[in-house]
Every structure is written in C-alpha cells, then in structure tokens.
Chain A
Amino acid sequence: MTAAMYESGPAAPGAARLPRLLPASPEGLHAHLGRYGPLPYRGEAGLLIDDVAAAGLTGRGGAAFPVARKLDAIARARGRRKVIVANGAESEPASRKDELLLRLAPNLVLDGLQLAAEAAGATEAHLYLHGTRPEILRALSERAARQLDRTSVSITEAPPRFLAGQETALVSRIGGGPALPTFQPPRVTERGLGGVPTLVQNVETLAHLALIARYGPRWFRSAGTAAEPGSMIATVYRPGAKPYVVETELGAPLAEILGAGPEVQAWLVGGYHGSWLRLPEAAGLNLSNESLRPAGAAVGAGVLVALPASRCGLAETARVVRYLAAESAGQCGPCLNGLPRIATALAELAGPRPRRQARDDVERWAGLVTGRGACHHPDGTARFVRSALTVFAPELARHANGHCSATRAGPREPFLPLPASLPTREEDWI
C-alpha cells in the first residue's frame, strides 16, 4: 500500500470548519507561515498551558489524556533538564494519519513541538518516526535557516514494530537501545530519557496545539463537542473504496463516516487494540468516547473500519491477532504465553468445525493476559479479541457447523492491512 492511497478523503462532517490540520498538498515553511502567521512563542515557560487547558485538548495518539495536565506535570518537575518528544511512530498498520500529517504539514507539528517545549521548559526536543521523510528534513532546514526553532530537534528512527510508539519503548529507542517497553513506575514524565522528566506527545496533538496557540481555546472549541472538543484525523476503511485519511470533528456520527448499509457487516473502532461493534445496534454511535465507551469502545487513534458483509470477521480477527502475538516483546510471561495461544485458537475458530474447547480457551486466556504485562499490549489485544467473539458470535456458530458467511471464494487480499514481515531477530527491534 503506497502513501498515495492515503490522500485526504472526501469532505468531512462539519466541513465548513475543516480541515484545520491537513492542507491539500505539502506546504513549505513560507506557505505555512503565510497561512497561519508567525510562530507565537510566549517568551516564558508555562504560559501556554492555561490556553491548552481551556481548549480541552486531549492526546491524539490513542489514550486521549488531557494535554494541559501532562504539560503541567513536566513544567512543575524538578530538575534542570527536561525532554519533549514528538511521537510520529504510529506503529498501527492500519493508521496512516501521522504519516500524512508529517508529509503535508510538517511545520505545524514542528511549531507545536517548539511551543510545547517552551511551555514545559524542555531543554531538548526529539522527533520519533518510522523512516525520515524528505519533507521533514526540508522543513527542519528551512526553519534552521530562519532560526525559528529555539529548542534544537533530533530525529530518531523507530523500527517498524507495533510497540515502537509505546512511551517507554520510545524512550528506550531514543536512548540508543531497542524499542522495548520497560516497567513503570517510574513514569516517563518523572524519569524518562536519560533519567529526566520526558513529555511524549503525538504529532497530531502538537499540530492542534500549534493552532490553539495562534487562534485560542474558543476557536478550538468551535468544533467537536463540549466534552470532547476539536477535530481529529481518522484513517477510514470502507467496502469498495480505497482507504483514506480524513479530518473530522469529534462527535461526528460514525454512520456518516463509515456507512451502515447492508454491505457493511460490522465496525471496528480504535484499530487493532480497539473494539468490534455490532450493526445495526451501533449505527447511532458517534466518534466520541462519550458515545463509544458505553458500547465498550473508544476513539483511540482514529482507525475506523467498516467490514464488508462478504468477509469473515473471524478470519480477519485471527490474522490480526497472529500479527499482534508476533509483535509481543516477549518480556512478560503472561503476554508471551497467552497471545500465541490465543492466536492459534482463533485460527482454529476461523476454520471449519473448531474444537468446542477453543472458544473457552480464548476467553480464559484473554482474561489471564489482561493487566499482567509491563505495557498494555496484552490488554488491548484481549479487548480486540473479546469484542470479536461477541460481535461475530453468529459466525462462530456457523463455523461450528462447517459453514462460513464469507462469500468470495478463492485467494484474495485480506481486508485489514498487515505488514508482510514479522520480527525474528534482536536487530528487528532497533
């Protein structure tokens, strides 16, 4: 799948206010400053935080943590040295939003990085991403020529691992080691890179911050909902269409983004650590945690999938879980033992006439791995698996009788994207 497939998609709901972050084509520094105005440094640490708090900006990397709180924690932390990292390693195979944002609007991200560094009192800044793109390098050199950046930015490449973007794995990688999670406490905001307080923010979050600094919290809140303000970038997969990236308001009806017609079997919200949602029950839900949480789902990093009716949800799930198991760091006993076993049992459930025991095993193992790793990889995988067992329960019954609802016979590309290669050696984590 090439980047060209992930162009900005059709106009999103509330289009009059959007897009905020994604220009139609890549913008150099001159065009960027022409569109948004100069970089509004405040001149002092901490001044921006109140605006960010009033705006209600939450992290766009998946966890939706209030940004002002994190900025404040770093700003208040003792010590001379503090680090900020722009996390562009989206790691999720189905997500393309960070890659596109960095290609189309790198200066918006880099503005946000500088402003957040100033607000938090950071003394060094890092950009962490899968493969350095020429647009980034060009943006950095243009900014250097104008002496725009007050905190120097170093780039670190992330390996193509699912866990590479995890906070502690990121700190480990930037520190020169492998992208493997470490146990918390201590949290990276207390002791992160080089043992100093480290602020990690998704690149999209920083882009929003760069605009809040210019236009203010009231402007930011003019989109989205009261509880979840602003816009977000989503990666969308629909039957009969190429995948695309679109910026949308929070709170937008999912049915408008994904469609809920007869050609759609189920929705997947939140990527491969997200949840499957049954249709038509979920058809009225919105793209907001307020709407999704009661249904057992969350917005996550904005990966939205409408699974075609012609596919087998169990087969798609089994393939993804095999990938997730292979991407385990293998450091914690429960995850290492549970995920491969779950994957094998799911593969059995995705086939004809599985053993009755297989489904019970999956449920038991999903419970056993949850909350027992150093990171949330087993938890997210278990959540994804359990939602599949619930939503595709009718399919389980069909398979037990030797049938499957997938209508297209013969080899074809699976619907959910996965990378071709899996990690086998120590070097694959660096």
Chain B
Amino acid sequence: MADRLQVNPIDCTGHGVCAELLPQLVSLDEWGYPLLDPRPVPVALARDARRAVAACPALALRLTRVEQPAGATRT
C-alpha cells in the first residue's frame, strides 16, 4: 500500500489548509501554493493525510496509488 499526495493545480487556489494539517509533507511556496513531498506517505501520517485531503476547501488535494511517471503528453 503506497499512496502519494497529489494536487490538482487547476482547482488549487492556495488556501493553505493542507500545509497546516500536514506540515511534515506539505509546505507552501512564496505564492501560497503547496509543495508536496513526492515520496509515498508514511503509514504514521496516513490518517493526517486523509484528514488534509478531506479538509481542502477546493477538494484539490488527493491521495493516489503509486503509478508510473506521467508519459508523453505533447503529441
């Protein structure tokens, strides 16, 4: 079971709630947008991560199963 944090950058408007609830894995850049730890979420933080996902006012944060890196998109 490996989940990673992911954010939909189009929905995200920089509320910053995720960084507050999950400071171990999320920090904010100079414009208020989340910088996510790309590694799998440690088991100890899984509950906090789910809470952060639920608390996002824009529902932009999500936990996804580990998948392959995004392939080519410019075709």
Q: Specify which chain A residues have a CB less than 8 angstroms from the CB of B67 in the assembled complex.
A: 185
Per-residue interface assignment for chain B, residues 3 to 47, with 1 indicating a CB less than 8 Å from any chain A CB and 0 otherwise:
000001111111000000000000001111101000000000000
**B residues less than 8 Å from A375 (CB atoms):** 73
The number of residues on chain B lying at the interface, defined by a beta carbon within 8 Å of a beta carbon of chain A, is: 21
A-B residue pair count with CB separations less than 8 angstroms: 71
The answer to the question of A337 belonging to the interface, with a C-beta cut-off of 8 Å to chain B, is yes
In the complex, whether A165 has a CB less than 8 A from a CB of chain B is yes
Find out whether the CB atom of A65 lies under 8 angstroms from the CB atom of B75.
yes
- Residues in B neighbouring A334, C-beta threshold 8 A: 9, 29, 31, 33
Contact with B along A311-338 (1 / 0, CB 8 A): 0000000000000000000011111011
Q: Which residues of A contact B29 (CB under 8 A)?
A: 334, 368
Query: For the complex, is B1 an interface residue (Cβ under 8 Å from A)?
Result: no
Query: Which chain B residue shows the least CB distance to A332?
Result: B9
Contact with B along A171-184 (1 / 0, CB 8 A): 00000000000111
Q: A372 near B9 (CB under 8 angstroms)? A: yes
How far apart sit A338 and B73, CA to CA, in the bound complex (Å)? 22
Residues of A within 8 A of B9 (CB): 183, 331-335, 372-374
Docked CA distance A375–B8 (Å): 11
Q: How large is the interface on A (under 10, 10 to 19, 20 to 34, 35 or more residues)?
A: 20 to 34
Is residue A62 within 8 Å, beta carbon to beta carbon, of the partner chain?
Answer: yes
Determine the residue in chain B with the shortest Cβ distance to A365: B30
**Mask: chain A, 184-207; 1 = CB below 8 Å from B; 0 = not:** 110000000000000011100100
The docked-state distance in angstroms from the alpha carbon of A334 to that of B14 is 10
Contacts known (A331-B9, A333-B14, A374-B9); A64 close to B72, Cβ less than 8 A: yes
Interface of A is mostly: loop
Q: Which residue of the partner chain A has the closest CB to B64?
A: A185
Chain A residues with CB under 8 Å of B33's CB are 333-334, 337, 372
What chain B residues lie within 8 Å of A273 (beta carbons)?
A: 74
Q: B73 to A333, Cβ gap below 8 A? A: no
Q: Which residue from A183, A202, A338 sits with its C-beta under 8 Å from B10?
A: A183
Question: Quick check: is A166 within 8 A (CB to CB) of the other chain?
Answer: yes
* Proximity bits, A380-398, B CB within 8 Å = 1, else 0: 0000000000000000000
Q: What residues of chain B have their CB less than 8 Å away from a CB belonging to chain A?
A: 8-14, 29-33, 35, 64, 67, 70-75
A interface list, Cβ under 8 A from B: 59, 61-65, 87, 165-168, 182-185, 200-202, 205, 273, 301, 331-335, 337-338, 368, 372-376
A-B pairs with beta carbons under 8 Å apart, 10 shown: A62-B74, A63-B72, A63-B75, A65-B72, A65-B75, A183-B9, A185-B67, A333-B32, A372-B9, A376-B73
The 10 closest A-B pairs by CB, nearest first: A63-B72, A332-B9, A65-B72, A61-B75, A333-B33, A62-B74, A337-B31, A331-B10, A63-B74, A183-B8
